[in-house]
Every structure is written in C-alpha cells, then in structure tokens.
Amino acid sequence: GENVEQHPSTLSVQEGDSAVIKCTYSDSASNYFPWYKQELGKRPQLIIDIRSNVGEKKDQRIAVTLNKTAKHFSLHITETQPEDSAVYFCAASLPGGGNKLTFGTGTQLKVEL
Amino acid sequence: DTAVSQTPKYLVTQMGNDKSIKCEQNLGHDTMYWYKQDSKKFLKIMFSYNNKELIINETVPNRFSPKSPDKAHLNLHINSLELGDSAVYFCASSQAGVDEKLFFGSGTQLSVL
C-alpha cells in the first residue's frame, strides 16, 4: 500500500517568513495529493490539493508543488501569520482506491510574533 | 446547519463497555468514512462506505462495527472497549466521481479508563 512520509515534524518561523513542509510518497501510481490544516481541538480542513497532471498550484499565500519523478510534494506558505499556526497534514491517494487517503504524520507549524 | 455532524463530542467510559458514535452529513455526498486520530495526531482511515456499501475496511479489530442505514448516516459501534481505543474519531464525507475532497466532522474524543 501507499506510504507517506512528512518532514519536519515541527516548524517554527517568524511572522512574515515563509514555511515549507515536504512529503514523499511510495507508490508512483498515486494521483491526488491534498493538504489539510488542523487547528488545535478542531477538525482537519482541506486548504489546497493538486493532481498528478499538474506541477504546481497556488492559492493566495499557499502553494503546492509536485515532483512525480522524485515522488515528493511540498507545501509553501508565504508571509506567515499567527493564524497559520496549526498542524498540517499531507496525503496521497491511488486511483480507484475508493478515495483511500494515506496521511503523513503531520507538521506542527508555529508562527511566532 | 453543520455539514458533517457527529455525536457525542466527548465520550468517557470504562474498559469492557460498548459505545456508539453517530455521524450525519447534509452535503448530499454518497461516501462516508471513519478516521482514527491517535495521541500523536496520526490520522488513519478505518472504514469507508459508498451508498451504504462497505468499500474500505482497514484491518480494524472486529470489535468495531460500522453501520450505514442510509447514505447520509454512518455510525460506529465499538464493543468491549480497550485502553488502546482511546483516540479522536472523525467522521468524514466526500462525493465520489466529483472529487476526493474530504469534509470532516468535529470529532469524538473517546477516553477509555
């Protein structure tokens, strides 16, 4: 089955700086890569996703890049703000797998004033 | 008018007891899921139902029994609760054939004493 590794497990940045979280996946057939944000005590919420036919996607301060050859994808957050502090999860899914998402282990992002 | 709602929010019980968690979605989705988030925040799929039919069962002990009376509801019954069952259980839904975006419920914090 699919295996997703995520780094770093914790990330501390100054407000206004950029943050980058990286994930690798094991199955080259995976074709869907979402990112979820989970604030303390809340539910995970989708913030951005990318499909395997696209190399990069951007939504305001958030961008995701995908390198299919290397089987890794990354989340980039620019101009970080305190409200960006949360746990971020990457995930991957295979086609025809009943939408079985395999999640990474999460990155605790802390944006300091 | 919460999109995915689950009850109860907190569940504290003794080892050996049987308990149920209920989930309802009003998004018109045809696929529903149960995810388990352990103390290290790791999110792992347990079950997935599409139109009341079980399509994913991830090597979960048979003490866990999901039931889907209709496509808007997915309940989780747990028999003979063990200490290791303590976790946050998230219900989620998505619309198959449209995209794989998951909408999560607010979670049920289960504590087994």
Nearest to B108 by CA among B12, B31, B24, B6: B6
Closest in B41, B56, B104 to A100, CB measured: B56
Which of A99, A100, A108, A109 to substitute to test the interface with B, most B CBs within 10 Å? A99
Paired with B64 in beta bridges are B78
pLDDT band at A94, cuts 50/70/90?
confident
CA A2, CA A28: separation in Å to the nearest integer? 9
pLDDT tens for residues A38-70?
999 999 999 999 998 889 999 999 999 999 999
Nearest to A108 by CA among A4, A3, A13, A2: A13
pLDDT tens for residues B17-71?
999 999 999 999 999 999 999 999 999 999 999 888 888 888 789 999 999 999 9
- Asked if A11 and A18 touch (Cβ cutoff 8 Å), the reply is no
Residue matched to tokens 């018109």:
B28
DSSP H or E run through B47 = strand B43-50
Name every residue whose Cβ is closer than 8 Å to that of residue A9 and which is 6 or more positions away in sequence. Answer: A105, A106, A107, A108
Nearest to B32 by CA among B73, B63, B1, B62: B73
Cβ burial of A40 (10 Å; 0-12, 13-18, 19+) is exposed
Closest in A45, A46, A100 to B45, CB measured: A100
Could you tell me which chain B residue has the CA closest to the CA of A107? B41
CA B44, CA B88: separation in Å to the nearest integer? 11
In angstroms, what separates the C-alpha of B22 from chain A's closest C-alpha?
16
